Structure 1
Amino acid sequence: MLKPLRSVLNNFKLGQKLTLLLLVVFAVGVVASGVALSSILNTSAQNEVTSKALMLMTTMISVRDYTNTQVKPELKDKLATEFLPQTVPSYSAREVFEKVRTDPEYKEFFYKEATLNPTNLRDKADSFEAPLVEQFRKDANLKELRGFHDSPSGKLFYIARPLPISKDSCLQCHSTPEAAPKSMIERYGATNGFGWKLKEVVGAQIISVPATTVLQNAQKSFLLLIGVFLLIFAATILVVNFWLKRYVVRPLNRMAKVAEAVSMGDTAAEFERTSNDEVGSLAETFSRMKMSLTMAMQRLEQYRSSRRSVDRSVDRPPSSQER
């Protein structure tokens, strides 16, 4: 395989070989840069989405806390006769999040407080969410899970955090049906959402976003940076190629023409030194070689002339005096 390639390369001129080498370097550089950039930008885009998701999650925790400590106590008396979903932290968080989603920057984000045994079945953990909750229940030191998963609507990037029962006030509605407000029992029944315990992880806060959102952000940045790299590489190749042709290829071509002229007997042809680099040193070396060759040819010509003179004197007939 290498022999045919070497044979083809041997037929290329120096300028063509240099151009080919630069193109190979260019291609390898673009591919290597593309692979590295793709990984870096995907990670960067994922971190950006994660940062937004965590900010939203922190906001929802604040909404839950505000509802539980400020709103619910104010409406405690009214809850005895009428159930107000606005006093439920998970409901408040969900409603506030839907308001946040009206902002185009967050419209692709989804929020759910997935619970194993919820009062409102809308919050029940599905087949993907339930194992996440179980992981948090088994490992008290596990504070966050994130990754990608396939859903009926497509691939999603998710972040999940445990949802423990941290305050006794939560147990007023979720300990036993007898302790829960009658208005809540009338609305949701006495079957679901009971038996919770203090410090127990009952669910998980999950924020998800379509994976395409993450990948599209990375792809936009990738295309932009690759475009910049392509321009830089292309400009570099043009500059290097121009420099090599001007300061290496052209001087070598001139020396080749002068050497050919000298080989044909044109001793007036001169090797011109135009630089102080290796190419200039080569031109000077050729000049010395031409000078040595000229001197050798002159000596040879002198030797031939002297030989011809001797030969003529030997072949000349003897004079009358010599007889």
Structure 2
Amino acid sequence: MDKLRKPLKISSRLFLATAAIFVIAGIIVVALVNYNERQQALVEAETKAYIILNRNLAIHTYFTRQLKPKLLKSIDHIRSKDYFEPTWMSSTYAIREIDKYYRLLESGDYYYKESAINARSPENEADAYEKSFIEEMNADSGLVTRSVVRVIDGKPYFVVLRRNEVMEETCLRCHSTPDKAPADLVRYYGPERSFNRKVGEVVSAISIRVPLAFAYENADRFSWQLSILLLTVLGGLFGLLWFINKRMLLKPLLAIHDKALMISSSDEHLGEQIPLPAGRELKELTASFNKMSIDLRHHLDHLEERVKERTAEIFKINEQLKQKVEEYKQAADALRESESRLNTAQQIAHLGSWERNLETNKLYWSDEQYRIWGYEPGEVIPDFELVKSHIHPDDIKMFEEANDKAFYKDEPINREYRIIRKDGIIRTVHSIAKVEWDERGQPKRFFGSLQDITERRRLEAQLQQAQKLEAIGVLAGGIAHDFNNLLSIIMGNISMAKNGVKPEYGVADFLNEAEEASLKAEELANQLITFSRGGAPVKKTGSVGYLVKETTDLILSESNVKSEFFIPSDLYAVEFDQEQMKLAIKNIIINAVESMPESGSIMVKADNFDLVNGRDLPLPEGKYVKISIRDQGVGIPEEHLSLIFDPY
């Protein structure tokens, strides 16, 4: 059935490809809009959460600094030690009650709670998630706040958790044991809740939840409306584009197609021409086709004399091709990365900022600055000595000299040096800094930025290799296409000559040799085209072990080199292009044989390989088959190792 199935026409392929592009473009636009709408909903939710948080923190501050001190002073002469009134003595109680009144005036299903473990009021008792956060804060003094999106009862919420009350010595009167607390407090809350606290213990956390369901529903509704609009617009554009392509492109191509079939079915149609269509490119194509028809007619009439001329031209072109490839290879080795690529690499690099107050000698780091040095934000108090301790020993002198010039000669810093992070990893950074002076000429502020350029340096090396391959590929592909066009004419002429020449003329052997040489030249040109397109692999899933052994045995069958195989039967099934894999194994084995002109042995091994965390390989994690080939040759000189992946 597969042999009887006809390939799709170019019109059908163009129709399907255009439709697919329009559909994919529409999906991408709708997805991006939906994503941005949801991100905006998160920003608004975060803003609302922090407004609520800051409002209630302000109430706490008012209670602590103004209300309670003044009231306590006013009634101090009549207040007993057991007196307790939560309405004005407990800011947590006041905020909880204010929030209830606020909810009566303002509709909204947000959630606010100053949660605690064994809270004094059951209304403030922490749930499991809040309890876990409080326990983490007690275990990690650097943990202050956390914001996440949680799904609760099937609905999404933006959740903000923040450290609230930390137990101090003055708080123990009410939180140590019931017998030390005011009697009114014990009567109000009971003798069980919020006692036995310790100094330094994180007692409570502020918990805020802002609903996201309504905003997400609006984003989805807008996305559907946009989808319908895009579908309508893209459908109209697609119909118009299809009509124009069919009339201006496909119809002239069909005329060329029909005339080509007529010529291929009978030599009588050679020399016939097609009317020139509109459009420069199609007009040039049709004119070239007409010229080819006339030339084929002429070549058919003068075939024998042209075969020898064309064969000589092929050898000449082949030499020119080799020379041009070598010239372009040398030019590619001298390419350097342009300034625009460097700027792009800098934009995606990690960039931290810092500022040192020279009057107080305090040093400020941004969050990214902490991460560049290997710390979590706020984990340490930064100072100049800490920075110097992380500079690579080989670069410390350069670092100190640059700082001295900034202070004593007012020279801005623009240097690259290595640092050793907290975890011991060595990174390369780019530092830009300057000193700011006051009106008296004294240094006032030292500030700048630090950029981790380790990844950029690695990408620059990869980019250089890719540019070399791209330049060679473009050259090889262009020359090979022209070469193939000439070969098609020559092979067509040879085939017609073989059919039109009688055996008694004695030229059949010459034509066969010319045809065989042309086929080999065509194979070489196709390999160059495949290289210029990046391989264009036709992948199928299967076992690679048999192919490796079969190809190796075939190459070694005509040599005095022995082989040794270690290929297990349980190799992973892999997806690969059989022809390209054969070519790769073939070239490696041939190279190994040439490195052992006398004799020797080749060891071929295949193993299952599970790639985890990259292992410095530019591959995604997953299951792979690793093929190892080892020979007993002289090896590759060290100065040539960096060139082993160059195509020529």
TM-score (norm 2): 0.37
Change (3 A) 1:289 1:155: closer
Q: For residues 34 and 158 of structure 1, what CA distance do their matches in structure 2 show?
A: 27
Partners of 1:258 and 1:271 within 8 A in 2: no
Alignment-derived partner of residue 73 in structure 1: 69
Q: For residues 169 and 137 of structure 1, what CA distance do their matches in structure 2 show?
A: 19
Root mean square deviation, CA, Å: 4.3
Is residue 7 from structure 1 mapped to residue 10 from structure 2 by the alignment?
A: no
- 1:153-183 alpha-carbon deviations (Å, 9 max, x no partner): 8564422112233777655644554554443
Partners of 1:60 and 1:97 within 8 A in 2: no
Change (3 A) 1:59 1:188: same
Is residue 27 from structure 1 mapped to residue 23 from structure 2 by the alignment?
A: yes
- 1:38-79 alpha-carbon deviations (Å, 9 max, x no partner): 656545533432232123212221122122222223433387
Alignment-derived partner of residue 57 in structure 1: 53
Q: 1:274 pairs with 266, 274, 278, which one?
A: 278
Which has the bigger relative contact order, CA under 8 A and spacing at least 6? 1
Q: For residues 86 and 243 of structure 1, what CA distance do their matches in structure 2 show?
A: 80
Change (3 A) 1:158 1:251: same
Is residue 95 from structure 1 mapped to residue 102 from structure 2 by the alignment?
A: no
Partners of 1:83 and 1:181 within 8 A in 2: no
Query: Which range is displaced more, 203-212 or 73-82?
Result: 73-82
Alignment-derived partner of residue 592 in structure 2: none
Change (3 A) 1:95 1:237: farther
Alignment-derived partner of residue 116 in structure 2: 115
Q: For residues 203 and 136 of structure 2, what CA distance do their matches in structure 1 show?
A: 11
Q: For residues 243 and 89 of structure 2, what CA distance do their matches in structure 1 show?
A: 75
- 1:9-66 alpha-carbon deviations (Å, 9 max, x no partner): 43x4x43331111122333444555666665654553343223212321222112212
Q: 2:13 pairs with 17, 23, 27, which one?
A: 17
- Residue 294 (structure 1) shift: 11
Alignment-derived partner of residue 146 in structure 1: 147
Partners of 2:60 and 2:91 within 8 A in 1: yes
- Residue 83 (structure 1) shift: 1.8
TM alignment of 1:148-227, pairs within 5 A: 148-149=149-150, 151=152, 156-165=157-166, 173-177=174-178, 180-210=181-211, 212-213=213-214, 215-216=216-217, 218-220=219-221, 222-223=223-224, 226=227
Change (3 A) 1:182 1:227: farther
- Residue 218 (structure 1) shift: 4.4
Q: For residues 219 and 149 of structure 1, what CA distance do their matches in structure 2 show?
A: 19
Change (3 A) 1:291 1:154: closer
- 1:194-238 alpha-carbon deviations (Å, 9 max, x no partner): 344454310111112345346435434544555565466545534
Change (3 A) 1:153 1:223: closer
- 1:217-264 alpha-carbon deviations (Å, 9 max, x no partner): 543454455556546654553454344223212333466688899999
Count of residues in Structure 1 that have an aligned counterpart in Structure 2: 288
Partners of 2:273 and 2:290 within 8 A in 1: no
Alignment-derived partner of residue 45 in structure 1: 41
Change (3 A) 1:291 1:144: same
- 1:249-283 alpha-carbon deviations (Å, 9 max, x no partner): 23334666888999999x99961331212x12122
Partners of 2:167 and 2:203 within 8 A in 1: no
Change (3 A) 1:112 1:15: same
Alignment-derived partner of residue 87 in structure 2: 85
Q: For residues 235 and 89 of structure 2, what CA distance do their matches in structure 1 show?
A: 63
* Higher normalized helix content (fraction of residues): 1
Q: Secondary structure of the residue that 2:203 maps to in structure 1? A: strand
Q: Which amino acid aligns with 1:94?
A: R
Q: For residues 168 and 236 of structure 2, what CA distance do their matches in structure 1 show?
A: 65
The structure with the larger Rg is: 1
Q: For residues 226 and 85 of structure 2, what CA distance do their matches in structure 1 show?
A: 56
Q: For residues 117 and 191 of structure 2, what CA distance do their matches in structure 1 show?
A: 16
Q: For residues 154 and 255 of structure 2, what CA distance do their matches in structure 1 show?
A: 69
Q: Which amino acid aligns with 2:288?
A: T
Change (3 A) 1:162 1:224: farther
Change (3 A) 1:251 1:161: same
- 1:63-112 alpha-carbon deviations (Å, 9 max, x no partner): 221222222234333876562424422123233444555545xx131011
Q: Which amino acid aligns with 2:285?
A: L
Q: For residues 147 and 262 of structure 2, what CA distance do their matches in structure 1 show?
A: 76
Q: For residues 262 and 152 of structure 2, what CA distance do their matches in structure 1 show?
A: 78
Is residue 244 from structure 1 mapped to residue 248 from structure 2 by the alignment?
A: no
TM alignment of 1:287-302, pairs within 5 A: 287-288=290-291
Is residue 283 from structure 1 mapped to residue 281 from structure 2 by the alignment?
A: no
Q: For residues 62 and 45 of structure 1, what CA distance do their matches in structure 2 show?
A: 26
Q: For residues 20 and 94 of structure 2, what CA distance do their matches in structure 1 show?
A: 60
Change (3 A) 1:251 1:169: farther
Change (3 A) 1:158 1:62: same
Q: Which amino acid aligns with 2:44?
A: E
- Residue 116 (structure 1) shift: 0.9
TM-score (norm 1): 0.68
- Residue 134 (structure 1) shift: 0.6
Gaps of 5+ in 1: 297-323
Q: Secondary structure of the residue that 1:7 maps to in structure 2? A: coil
Query: Which range is displaced more, 179-188 or 223-232?
Result: 223-232
* Higher normalized strand content (fraction of residues): 2
Q: Which amino acid aligns with 1:144?
A: T
- Residue 193 (structure 1) shift: 2.3
Change (3 A) 1:127 1:223: same
